[in-house]
């Protein structure tokens, strides 16, 4: 008899926790398992094989449900597929326990007696949580994801079965488990293998270019289920489910979504964006009003995308840096809530400015990049537009704003703020930025032509609004022979 992978992992976990493993045959003291559990164990033997190293993935038998409603049988049939890469954590998993992380090369095991998140979903009326209770659960999942990403780890198989409650109490904390498919982030690299569970897999995983954003997608799917008791993507076969994930959007028109708050719907929509560049990060999601309500903003971890944007800012052309500063000045406070949380997390002494030491400390927390990238002093000098040796909030926003999210989440707002940023350069209002206007605003001396080259697509010697917007959206890099700033100690800030 072939013992399933999940059963082997359960036995190994039981030994680690010093708990006797379950016997194969029921005894007088141990009642026989329910029929549904026996059916689950039979289905677990129908495993999915994967050969990701050769670039091929063969999936096993798919779900046979005839409804989108969440159920134990249907969810269990969506087994995880893929092979854990070498070097990934093994069972028992390495996970945050208490307030700290285990030391390198060690594992910490804890018996979670509260059962799976899936069990509690099924125990709820209509298989759905209230918004308040759902927000508490989602906040805990996002914190786990954000901390993992900051430590260079992507889970890659987040689903209700892989979250356990510490105890049977209603307010028991949630723990992430089963890191068998997790992998470590490598700077500049994307994951090429297809792993995860069909209902929760992100589109970019199926396209073989995934990263930490895939965990956020999975949490978005779980949130959708928590709020309505149904799956956002469903079909009778596993291949059909994957097609739904790639092509269709979740349905927010059917019941009970009309009775769910707009804030909750906005939150789920921003997690289930198919483009990973415009999807909220785990740390950004923690700053969303719906999940943040009642939570403590000081507990929000550093956002790896914010740290990455700071590293990239030093590589941008001088003109794009000026353009981003103009864009940042056009944003309102509501749009900057997530960046306020990140600024406060980096500004340890709470004096309203980030020092060199505080920036060095923050960038060192992003473990995959800790010893890579440009020097911290170079990054601070690029962001510090008034050359006072500190980074204030307006300078921080210019370096860390997520332009792609502005474009995707609210196109009308993007049109408005990009127009306002353009008007700061277009002094005569003729719809173009001329070399004279650019030089007047940037206080640069010498030829201004190198700055225009990147944005002037039609080579007419001036920059239109569409060319300006394209510059903001593209990942432009600094070019050589760019004129240097004048010796003015406090150049005009845009």
Residue 425 in tokens: 């350069």
- Of 198, 248, 252, 219, the C-alpha closest to 79 is 198
Task: Please report, for the chain, how many H helices and E strands are present, in that order.
Answer: 22, 8
**Cβ-based neighbour number of residue 239 at 10 Å:** 12
Query: Which pairing describes strands 56-57 and 50-51: parallel, antiparallel, or unpaired?
Result: antiparallel
State how far the Cα of 296 lies from the Cα of 189, in Å rounded to an integer. Answer: 33
Q: What's phi and psi for 108, nearest 5 deg? A: -130, 125
Which residues lie below 8 Å from residue 286, measured CB to CB, with a gap of 6+?
Answer: 139, 142, 143, 146, 292, 295, 299, 300, 301, 341
H-type alpha helices, 151-260? 203-206, 213-228, 238-247
State how far the Cα of 457 lies from the Cα of 276, in Å rounded to an integer. Answer: 27
State how far the Cα of 186 lies from the Cα of 109, in Å rounded to an integer. Answer: 27
Catalytic residue among 119, 126, 133, 157: 157
Instruction: Assign 184 to helix, strand or coil.
Output: strand
Eight-class DSSP state of 174: E
Catalytic annotation on 392?
no
Eight-class DSSP state of 280: P
Instruction: Assign 48 to helix, strand or coil.
Output: coil
Sequence-separated contacts (24+) of 321-325 with Cβ below 8 Å: 321/382, 321/398, 322/441, 322/442, 322/494, 323/421, 323/468, 323/471, 323/472, 324/398, 324/399, 324/401, 324/403, 324/472, 325/385, 325/394, 325/395, 325/398, 325/493, 325/494
Residue 10 in tokens: 């359960």
For 378, the enclosing helix (H) or strand (E) is: helix 376-383
**Cβ-based neighbour number of residue 458 at 10 Å:** 10
Q: How far is CA 273 from the centre of its chain?
A: 11
Any idea which residues carry the catalytic annotation?
157
């Amino acid at each position: 008899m072939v013992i399933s992978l999940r059963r082997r992992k359960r036995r190994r976990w039981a030994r680690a926790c010093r708990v006797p493993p379950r016997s194969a045959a029921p005894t007088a003291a141990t009642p026989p398992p329910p029929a549904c559990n026996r059916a689950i164990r039979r289905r677990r033997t129908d495993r999915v094989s994967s050969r990701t190293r050769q670039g091929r993935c063969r999936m096993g038998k798919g779900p046979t449900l005839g409804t989108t409603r969440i159920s134990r049988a249907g969810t269990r049939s969506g087994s995880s597929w893929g092979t854990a890469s070498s070097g990934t954590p093994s069972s028992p998993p390495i996970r945050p326990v208490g307030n700290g992380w285990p030391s390198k090369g060690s594992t910490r095991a804890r018996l979670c007696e509260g059962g799976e998140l899936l069990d509690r979903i099924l125990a709820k009326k209509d298989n759905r949580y209230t918004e308040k209770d759902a927000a508490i659960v989602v906040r805990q999942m996002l914190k786990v994801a954000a901390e993992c990403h900051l430590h260079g780890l992507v889970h890659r198989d987040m689903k209700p079965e892989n979250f356990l409650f510490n105890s049977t109490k209603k307010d028991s904390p949630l723990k992430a488990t089963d890191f068998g498919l997790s992998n470590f982030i490598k700077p500049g690299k994307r994951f090429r293998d297809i792993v995860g569970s069909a209902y929760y897999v992100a589109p970019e995983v199926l396209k073989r270019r995934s990263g930490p954003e895939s965990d956020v997608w999975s949490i978005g799917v779980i949130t959708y289920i928590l709020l309505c008791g149904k799956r956002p993507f469903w079909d009778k076969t596993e291949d059909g489910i994957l097609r739904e994930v790639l092509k269709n959007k979740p349905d927010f028109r059917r019941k009970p979504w009309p009775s769910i708050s707009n804030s909750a719907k906005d939150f789920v929509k921003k997690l289930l964006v198919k483009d990973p560049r415009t999807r909220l990060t785990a740390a950004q999601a923690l700053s969303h009003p719906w999940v943040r309500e009642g939570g403590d903003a000081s507990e929000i971890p550093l956002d790896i995308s914010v740290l990455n944007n700071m590293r990239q800012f030093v590589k941008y052309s001088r003109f794009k840096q000026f353009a981003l500063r103009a864009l940042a000045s056009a944003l309102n406070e509501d749009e900057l809530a997530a960046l306020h949380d990140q600024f406060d997390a980096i500004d340890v002494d709470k004096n309203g400015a980030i020092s060199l030491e505080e920036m060095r400390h923050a960038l060192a927390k992003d473990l995959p990049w800790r010893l890579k990238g440009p020097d911290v002093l170079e990054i601070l000098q690029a962001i510090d537009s008034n050359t006072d040796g500190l980074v204030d909030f307006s300078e921080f926003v210019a370096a860390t704003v997520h332009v792609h999210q502005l474009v995707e989440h609210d196109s009308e707002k993007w049109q408005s703020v990009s127009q306002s940023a353009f008007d700061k350069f277009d002094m005569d209002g003729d719809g173009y930025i001329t070399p004279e206007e650019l030089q007047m605003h940037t206080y640069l001396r010498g030829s201004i032509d190198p700055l225009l080259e990147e944005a002037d697509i039609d080579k007419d010697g001036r920059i239109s609004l569409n060319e300006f917007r394209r510059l903001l959206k593209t990942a432009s890099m600094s070019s050589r022979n760019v004129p240097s700033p004048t010796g003015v100690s406090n150049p005009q800030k845009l």
